[in-house]
Structure 1
Amino acid sequence: MRHFLDFEKPIAELEGQIEELRRTTDAGGIDVADEIGKLRDKAEKLLASTYAKLTPWQKAQVARHPDRPKCLAYIAGLIEDFTPLAGDRAFADDQAMVGGLGRFRGQPVMVLGIEKGSDTESRIKHNFGSPRPEGYRKARRLIELAGRFNLPILSFVDTAGAFPGVEAEARGQAEAIARSIEAGLDAPVPFIATIIGEGGSGGAIAIAAADRVLMLEHSIYSVISPEGCASILWRDAGQAATAAEALRLTAEDLKKLNLVDTVVPEPMGGAHREPTGMVEKVGDRIEACLTPLLALDGATLRARRREKFLEMGRTGLV
């Protein structure tokens, strides 16, 4: 059963009518093919017009859509012979942060990603995509391992942010994130990060300090969630839509600000409507970015990556 967002209710009503007419036909009733065709055209036009003018807050809702392909879907669709690697060698294995070795279209790679889960059981298992310090220490370990064995790094970012619990702070959450960012900036191998859903705060950039940052059309990437921003500025999470406008968290805004390198178009209605096609499209963009980076040596990659992030600060845009 397809899940519709609040602003998609008119589309849901039309698609419900189409389904009802289809059931009538299947039950041996009158031929309503023409009526179904008219309703389908109307639904497609409404879908196109709705998604052509999404507000930042509506894009945030699409980025969080429960049916949107998650990190493990991209790994399953793009990485052959994936072998998970577990643990931070200090405390535990964080299930929100996944990573391991595999082959991307024949090229050996190290893969990192934050998994939110797709149902109640998997969401609990993966802590709703909010890594703890051990997750970021695992990420750092795998980034350093990739550098040691000359493996390009691919990361898939989808998190509202790092886990904010007291125990996470007690175990050094801030330092773990900072060390992961440091490892990314210092990696002597190509590093490509893709924002596939939410990119929340330092919890996201911890695995996105990359040579190339790709961002799906309806993803979001921001220093704080709209709800968190609204709670701080107005003490009212209900102002999230206003905060989303101010944060400039959409792919379109971030591309204009040169904070991401490539915006990957999504199918009409969002990635969740054609997940398999979306995964392949992301794979094509990753391949296009990775190929020229493979020709560069480690010193050049580090220097360019450092300059890329320093330039963000010099422009006064962040």
Structure 2
Amino acid sequence: MMRFILFISIFVAQVFSDTFPTALGECTLEIYGGRVDDIPEIVQLIKDESVILVDELGEVNIRSYSVYITSNMEDFYEKSKGPVPEWGIALAKLNPDRAILKSPGLANISFIRMKEVIVHELNHIYMFRIPNYYTMPSWFKEGMAMAGSNEFSLLHKIEISKAHWRKQTIPLQRLRNMGIHSKGKIKLAYGESAAAVEALQYYYGEDTPLKILDDMRTGMEFYDALEAAINEEYIEFQIKFEIYLEENYNWVFLLRSAKYIYVILPIILVLGFLYRTHRNKLKLKQWEI
């Protein structure tokens, strides 16, 4: 009997849970196999990000949601309750609203990276509350989430540049559904999605995504809202997006081979070291004077 109680106690101790109010509704956070001292930081992150989303993108319906951080694949699939992409380390799902993440150990990422992923998935949970959400293409949903979590990195931009050089960029039409892309293409697909949102803002104004969301709140479907916001047909934006990639990701140092990155980076580091050494010598001379 004592062994059974001890087993139950150990099992329960491995699941940390907290429920708290946020600007998107009451959130239940469950961490499987995590550390109890991680919880306050994650709770505060969720609270802060939910306020930022509402402040920047507008009010949405409030309803409860959950965030699960799982420590094994069994829990990850159990909480997902449906298909999961082979490349996925996290996903957000409707009915009920929830974000399911692999823990840093399971996903082989840092704690800081996991916090970016949490912010990314909270962006999806926010979008769930926009009327006609189902009409949004993946490139807009993922592009907005990438912008909100500041995940659009140099690596994504390099991936776009390499694809542009090889004439293998993904047309906007094929970014309507992220699930069709393989693991080898997914970084490019996410990068282009972030670039598409940037292109919207570049050609039509910084508040264009917000205009689209506001029009959807009146009952418009996504593509009608987009055309109303940009005052052009969608095909015109598709053409401009290709031009945007051509003008912004046609990087000369990537045109020959990826190996040139490894040549250039050491040179930059050496130059930086020499500059810093020279600056320190000047400072020493000033002190001697």
Q: TM-score, normalised by structure 1?
A: 0.23
Question: Whose helix proportion is higher, 1 or 2?
Answer: 2
Higher alpha-carbon Rg: 2
Considering fraction of residues, name the structure with more strand. Answer: 1
Higher relative contact order (CA 8 A, sep 6+): 1
